[in-house]
Amino acid sequence: MLIAKDHGHPLAVKVSEWFIRSAPRQSDARQRQDFAERFGTHNPRVLKVLVLLHDTIDTPPTRSELAHAAGVCVRQIERLFRAELGMSVREAGEAIRLDHAAHLLKSTGQSVTAVALACGFASASHFSRAFKQSYAVSPRHWKAHKAAVTAIPDQELARIESLRDRKTRAMSL
């Protein structure tokens, strides 16, 4: 609660996920908090797109396919994402894919290239650039230091705070 109050909901969710220790789960159960909690939205169209993005990590759908699934046009789904999450559909999809990639790098023996392809990136170089921009370390470094890389990177904190500030400003208009 204090983290959310001082630093915003996205950071509070991220911190809580780092400390989750749960009992063994059923094979069909999700590993993480649901998207409403994780992204701080209850908009059914946005949630439908987030679930679809998560369920199609290896082959990301087009914006048109996502908008169609939500029952709106591309422009409307982009507006909804900006209003609800403070980011574009592409940014949200990339965040979901990078989050999954970070998990794979820490928990499997897959190569960086294999993880990049499994997470829907066209090339290992594009994946590496996106990963480093989001996590402030290269995928190879993340993989090599599985347990040691747990602190929230300054870049990630700045990005989360920036998103929170944009959302706060948009809500006050």
Cβ-in-10-Å burial (0-12, 13-18, 19+) of 101 comes to buried
Q: What is the mean pLDDT of each run of 10 residues along the chain (173 residues)?
A: 66 57 49 70 92 93 95 96 94 94 92 95 95 94 70 57 65 62
HEC string of 126-157 equals HHHHHHHHHHCCCHHHHHHCCCCCCCCCHHHH
Predicted local confidence at residue 11, as pLDDT = 62
Identify the CATH number of the domain defined by range 2-12+31-172: 1.10.10.60
Predicted local confidence at residue 72, as pLDDT = 96
Residue type, 38: R
Predicted local confidence at residue 101, as pLDDT = 95
List Cβ neighbours of 51 (8 Å cut-off, separation of 6 or more).
35
Predicted local confidence at residue 57, as pLDDT = 94
SS3 helix, strand, coil % of the chain, rounded to 5? 65, 0, 35
Dist CA 40 CA 34 (whole Å): 10
